[in-house]
Structure 1
Amino acid sequence: MKKLLDYVLSSLYLLYFGLVLLVFHVIQAGAFHLIGKDAHKKTVDVMNAFIAYGWYLTGSTIQYRQLTDLPTDRPIIFVANHQSMFDISPIIWFLRRHTPIFVSKIELSHGIPSISYNLRKSGAALIDRKDAKQAISEIARLGKHIQQKKHSAVIFPEGTRSASGQMRPFATGGLAVLLKRAPGALVVPVVIRGTGHFNPKGIFPLRSFTRMSWTVLPGLEPAGQTPEDITRLAQEAIAAELEKTI
């Protein structure tokens, strides 16, 4: 019975999800070309609220907790564990005040309504995993941008999704490049729970009645520490929070 319900509610949500992407693709393009980047960002924020809160159509829930005040007068590098494609929308919505910009694989920059358009127009670091030089250059560009604009970058140091919820080792390279170009940044761990359970085998079927949460932990000051130290501390903080029951 639960499996049948998963199929029915997944179909309902995915129809809704597709319509959101199509409608907001048009709205995004209009906002960007007719009004400007600020208007485009606001449409993206709202679109991601629609995506995230739409999960209630599956009986699932989302929770956001912020355990620390975040500065707005310096850049931030958000470091998160990675379970699912659905990790992203709540980060964009709940942390919209900090203009989060993602490190993403270049393949996502084409072919997906709204999402690909936003990746291209938001200034995301679109990396080719087969071309280390290109990847470093893109991440460095993003680091320079957040340093100048006091925006934020979002990076998933595991590199690929872990639907099981069991974290893979964090790689240091991307974070090291961001810190080099954004030396004033605060590194803030973000703990993501439940999204891997929500879509463990692709986008269909989703698992209904899943509890998902995003928890922002206290920041880590990079001054006086190596990128390896900061990466290790971020991973340890995320792992410790994942072990807690909420």
Structure 2
Amino acid sequence: MQKLLSYIITPFFFIAFGLCLLIFHPIQWFGFKVFGYNGLKPVVSKLNFFLMRSTNILGTTYKFTNKYDLPTNRPLIIVTNHQSMYDIPPLIWYMRKHHPKFVSKKELGKGIPSVSFNLVHGGSVLIDRKDGKSAIMEIGKLGSYIEKHNRSAVIFPEGTRSRDGHPKPFKPMGLKMLLKKAPSALIVPISINNSWKLVRFGQFPMGLGSKVRLEVQQPIENKGNLDELITQIEASVVSGINSFK
């Protein structure tokens, strides 16, 4: 019954989602061309707020839990699991004061209103996942960028999305490069639950009534043996994942 209802509701969601991207694209362009990064950043934050609101059409709700006082005067490395593309708007919105930047596949760098413009001009990096060496170099550039500007990098070390909520093993190389290039960064593990349910049927129709939850785990200092540190980070992220149960 839910899937049948979703066939009716999903087109309205896609219209709202698409309109957000189309409306905010020229606003981003204007903000960036006239005011530079400081003109682009608040527009991107508002865009992602409205992208979240568009998913409310599907009955999606969001809850962000953070018991920690995260600093804004030092870089952050935000490490999280990846369940769907709908992980990204709440990460950008709820972590907006930390200026989150992403490691994204290069295909997203063109052709998508609003999204491509922000990825190219907003400080994120685009990688070719088929070229591991150049991908690691680009991630290193992101690490240097956040170290210099006291911003944050978001990385999904699983590499691909979990389509059923089960966490995948971390692929450590990209995260290790970030840790090396941003030695003063505070590591912020975040556990995401239930965003995979938005795409439980694939891209069409959308899942209804998903309760997306993001929980910040205990921040970790960037020090000590990197392999042991990454194991600790992975355990922290996984400890808060329960949406597959």
- Normalising by structure 1, we get a TM-score of 0.95
Aligned partners of 2:187, 2:117: CA distance in 1, in Å? 27
Contact 1:140 1:177 in 2 (8 A): yes
SS at match of 2:153: strand
Contact 2:79 2:237 in 1 (8 A): no
Match of 1:69 in 2: 69
Contact 1:105 1:126 in 2 (8 A): yes
Match of 1:242 in 2: 241
Contact 2:103 2:155 in 1 (8 A): yes
> 1:8 deviation in Å?
1.7
Match of 1:229 in 2: 228
Tell me the amino acid that sits aligned with residue 195 of structure 2: T
> 1:62 deviation in Å?
0.9
Match of 1:203 in 2: 203
Contact 2:223 2:229 in 1 (8 A): no
- Name stretches of at least 5 consecutive residues in structure 1 with no aligned partner: none
1:171-224 deviation line (CA, Å, top 9, x unaligned):
111111111111001111011111111113433211111111111111111212
- Name stretches of at least 5 consecutive residues in structure 2 with no aligned partner: none
1:59-105 deviation line (CA, Å, top 9, x unaligned):
12111111211011111000000000111000000000000000111
Aligned partners of 1:34, 1:72: CA distance in 2, in Å? 25
Q: 1:139 and 2:139 equivalent?
A: yes
Contact 1:172 1:227 in 2 (8 A): no
Instruction: Compare 126-135 and 37-46 and name the one that shifted more.
Output: 126-135
Contact 1:49 1:93 in 2 (8 A): yes
Match of 1:11 in 2: 11
SS at match of 1:242: coil
Instruction: Compare 141-150 and 197-206 and name the one that shifted more.
Output: 197-206
> 1:230 deviation in Å?
2.0
RMSD: 1.4
Aligned partners of 1:10, 1:16: CA distance in 2, in Å? 10
Tell me the amino acid that sits aligned with residue 233 of structure 1: Q
Match of 2:161 in 1: 161
Which aligned pairs between 1:75-224 and structure 2 lie closer than 5 A? 75-224=75-224
State the aligned residue count: 244
Identity rate, percent = 42
Aligned partners of 2:149, 2:123: CA distance in 1, in Å? 12
- Normalising by structure 2, we get a TM-score of 0.96
Task: Flag as ranges the 4+ runs of structure 1 deviating above 3 A.
Answer: none
